[in-house]
Structure 1
């Protein structure tokens, strides 16, 4: 099940449209990208389950991250800011029940925390934004049920049900009736719709009495790098994980180490800024690019090079992308990095030849149906974009200005900004939805575009607590 179709009027937001700035010349900017959302929220969960206090440095502060912080506080962890909002001190506590978790539109909150809630000493009620109520949840909830956890629809006051047909929840809202612990064992999960179902179970598994043996039984497994990221963060926290067999993960029971860690920059959030160099010409650089990483955004330099850019990583960790203003089409399987699809769809709409983005059928279950949304909005501006069974075929056509709708999806907003870099009159609807993972995006984007004479240093704004 996915969020409303792009032609549903309720999918639009009443927020005023933002006129995307057009580049007047080649870019010359250094963009400081804040910490990875994926790593921040994984590290927060592990810190809350650890055997002692820990600290995160360089943590992302965005709506998704702040929702995770609030949820973990509700579950009993003490989380306080250090000398800056991006430094977070975490003191674990017993997992507390009889509480509420609001997930907003954050997949990491709604899918990572039900297994944690199974350790609580009472019921934990989950809900989120209206758009979140159509995002699939059944695989992780059914897995918990198979492990002996009582999961019920709504506020948990109704009777227990064994299947969706009988009222077993497959979406928000739902309630996990924690019993103070979980035996664990073996369970099968179909994670074809999202790798988050696997990651959520793995993150809490070391706290299960018998650990967990998890087997993926679906036809496909999207975003495998995100699962590899989860496994890596678990191992770094001293958790024993055996992933030697494809599609099977064995987590041994044991303590989660208390640590002081630094969060890498979010490479997927860097992608639109780096792609801007191809669209407008010039150079955009991002400092702090890791030499080795489990983030799917690691594919960005290679993909931008294939589309006509020149990407080079310096010895001191600065990634520089230079473009000429000419973009080439691409045929690429983005199964491992579907979150990059909106950026590369925007580039494809501005390219000099057709593109095919494959392996991303799972994007139909993200913040919105991203395939339908991208096809609709590119077409709305005069382009040609067609959905396939597992992706998009984009044939470049002359584009014109107009409203680029976002459907409360942060990556749709950055995609519209990228198109507007070349096409005058592109109005991005509700650009502030980018606060989900990148607060202050609009200001950062303007600073990058306006800094065309001397190198502009573009840094994120302070966290927007209201998002």
Structure 2
């Protein structure tokens, strides 16, 4: 299969991935969840009164969401690190920069129909390749005017008239669960609500839809998800509630991998006992790879084995974990088969092609398949690991650097998408000498 686009692979700013000199013992705290923060911001913007998003993630993706909503008239004020959100008039023409944020590109257009004015959407060059056409077509069917010149991709414009009819719509969401979440998030404010029916291959990342449903119900929105592949949101107000954002559990992957790959111990603080975040599956995945995994009192501790075991995993519902898991599999002592993730070819980059290419560049024995990867034990060596402007690819690169000398990670700054100053936090975690329960290791 083809390698990712060449323009995304131009090496920039190669960063020497730190390697510890033995097993580590670290305590790490993480910034908030991007998925929860952006949903909370959007729901606060269409709520029936002011609310506060507490401990939000402040990263490129969430700042782009905040700016998009502010450009539509939403008041967003910083209060000692929290965001106080006041719904506004939503009467404005605006230009929205999506960057590389799928949540901005997909979640904001359905609420723009509730505004009055024309809102133009564009983003980074690669965003013009990410799938959005199914959702734009669904908006048209629900009564929202969309102008994309038939591309089904960025750039496009949405003409808001102040009201949306809503109703029943059929959509193929097999490329992204965000298509469903986007319509559900806005649906309560539509005149007839929204009844979303999926046809096609299974919807990936279902935990993210469950996250959306739970957040809507917490705001008094009636959601019927009793039938498979159907989600119905009744029309009505969205109650204003304050949200406290959980740590981003997907961003925990490289830090937990630090314990797993070095035969050491890493504790991540603030781990929720119950959550809809897909990153919670790391507990089961790492246990299958031979780690000792314990959740107690809000602390998740991973103790790595002498040598990681390969795994056979269907990652369909947790595709965003694939880069980190693939990197650990490349360090394992037996073969691994990762499957069910054809949809991650439409993420920030074609992640399957990128992983096969970059793991192979460092000596891994890897086969790319239509929906996954097969990885067998091999002697790895140093070199430049390209990231294709994809934060999860950078995570894979630094994980390999835990066990391989001279790994250079291209454009590690791309991690700012969901983790500001990741390189500093990672260096402290890898090279620190004493755990500090107040934050990142020192």
Aligned equivalents of 1:457, 1:10: Cα separation in 2: 42
Aligned equivalents of 2:167, 2:259: Cα separation in 1: 50
The one of 126, 142, 149 equivalent to 1:147 is 142
The one of 214, 229, 234 equivalent to 1:232 is 214
> Does 2:319 align with 1:322?
no
> Structure 1 residue 407: deviation in Å?
0.2
> Structure 1 residue 455: deviation in Å?
1.9
Equivalent residue number for residue 335 of structure 1: 316
Cα pair distance change 1:219/1:8, threshold 3 Å = closer
The one of 416, 435, 438 equivalent to 1:455 is 435
Q: Is the 8 A contact 2:118 2:157 kept in 1?
A: yes
> Structure 1 residue 9: deviation in Å?
3.0
RMSD (Å), alpha carbons: 1.5
Q: Is the 8 A contact 2:14 2:408 kept in 1?
A: yes
Q: Which moved more, 1:428-437 or 1:259-268?
A: 259-268
Equivalent residue number for residue 303 of structure 1: 285
> Structure 1 residue 460: deviation in Å?
6.7
Aligned equivalents of 1:245, 1:94: Cα separation in 2: 36
> Structure 1 residue 299: deviation in Å?
0.6
The one of 91, 96, 99 equivalent to 1:96 is 91
> Structure 1 residue 263: deviation in Å?
0.5
Aligned equivalents of 2:169, 2:291: Cα separation in 1: 45
Cα pair distance change 1:399/1:457, threshold 3 Å = farther
Residue 379 of structure 1 aligns to a residue whose secondary structure is: helix
The one of 125, 132, 147 equivalent to 1:130 is 125
Where in structure 1 are there 5+ consecutive unaligned residues?
Answer: 154-166, 462-467
Cα pair distance change 1:113/1:194, threshold 3 Å = same
Equivalent residue number for residue 414 of structure 1: 395
Q: Is the 8 A contact 2:11 2:386 kept in 1?
A: no
Residue 116 of structure 2 aligns to a residue whose secondary structure is: coil
Equivalent residue number for residue 280 of structure 1: 262
Equivalent residue number for residue 33 of structure 2: 36
Aligned length: 441
Equivalent residue number for residue 250 of structure 1: 232
- Taking structure 1 as the reference length, the TM-score comes to 0.92
Aligned equivalents of 2:27, 2:440: Cα separation in 1: 12
Deviation per CA, 1:45-84: give whole Å up to 9, x if none: 0000000000011110000000000000011101011112
Deviation per CA, 1:389-444: give whole Å up to 9, x if none: 21111112100000000000000001100000110000000000000000111111
> Structure 1 residue 325: deviation in Å?
4.2
Matches within 5 A, 1:101-180: 101-153=96-148, 167-180=149-162
> Does 2:51 align with 1:54?
yes
Aligned equivalents of 2:437, 2:122: Cα separation in 1: 39
> Structure 1 residue 366: deviation in Å?
0.2
Q: Is the 8 A contact 1:13 1:408 kept in 2?
A: no
Q: Is the 8 A contact 1:151 1:168 kept in 2?
A: no
The one of 187, 207, 218 equivalent to 2:200 is 218
Cα pair distance change 1:441/1:5, threshold 3 Å = farther
> Structure 1 residue 260: deviation in Å?
1.4
Aligned equivalents of 2:235, 2:400: Cα separation in 1: 49
Aligned equivalents of 2:261, 2:92: Cα separation in 1: 51
Equivalent residue number for residue 349 of structure 1: 330
Q: Is the 8 A contact 1:97 1:117 kept in 2?
A: no
Equivalent residue number for residue 364 of structure 2: 383
Q: Is the 8 A contact 1:28 1:456 kept in 2?
A: no
Q: Is the 8 A contact 1:141 1:169 kept in 2?
A: no
> Structure 1 residue 148: deviation in Å?
2.0
Deviation per CA, 1:314-355: give whole Å up to 9, x if none: 1x2100001134111000000110000001000000000110
Residue 269 of structure 1 aligns to a residue whose secondary structure is: coil
Aligned equivalents of 1:354, 1:205: Cα separation in 2: 45
Cα pair distance change 1:417/1:325, threshold 3 Å = farther
Q: Is the 8 A contact 2:19 2:431 kept in 1?
A: no
Q: Is the 8 A contact 2:333 2:377 kept in 1?
A: yes
> Does 2:164 align with 1:182?
yes
Residue 76 of structure 1 aligns to a residue whose secondary structure is: coil
Residue 161 of structure 2 aligns to a residue whose secondary structure is: coil
Q: Which moved more, 1:37-46 or 1:382-391?
A: 382-391
Aligned equivalents of 2:175, 2:220: Cα separation in 1: 29
> Structure 1 residue 14: deviation in Å?
5.4
Equivalent residue number for residue 22 of structure 1: 19
Where in structure 2 are there 5+ consecutive unaligned residues?
Answer: none
Aligned equivalents of 2:202, 2:325: Cα separation in 1: 22
Aligned equivalents of 2:301, 2:64: Cα separation in 1: 33
Q: Is the 8 A contact 1:439 1:460 kept in 2?
A: no
Aligned equivalents of 1:183, 1:366: Cα separation in 2: 31
The one of 415, 439, 442 equivalent to 1:434 is 415
Deviation per CA, 1:12-58: give whole Å up to 9, x if none: 35531100011101111111111110000001000000000000111
Residue 81 of structure 1 aligns to a residue whose secondary structure is: strand
Deviation per CA, 1:63-109: give whole Å up to 9, x if none: 0000000000011101011112xx11000012234111110000000
> Does 2:177 align with 1:195?
yes
Q: Is the 8 A contact 2:27 2:440 kept in 1?
A: no
Residue 55 of structure 1 aligns to a residue whose secondary structure is: strand
> Structure 1 residue 458: deviation in Å?
7.8
Q: Is the 8 A contact 1:34 1:460 kept in 2?
A: no
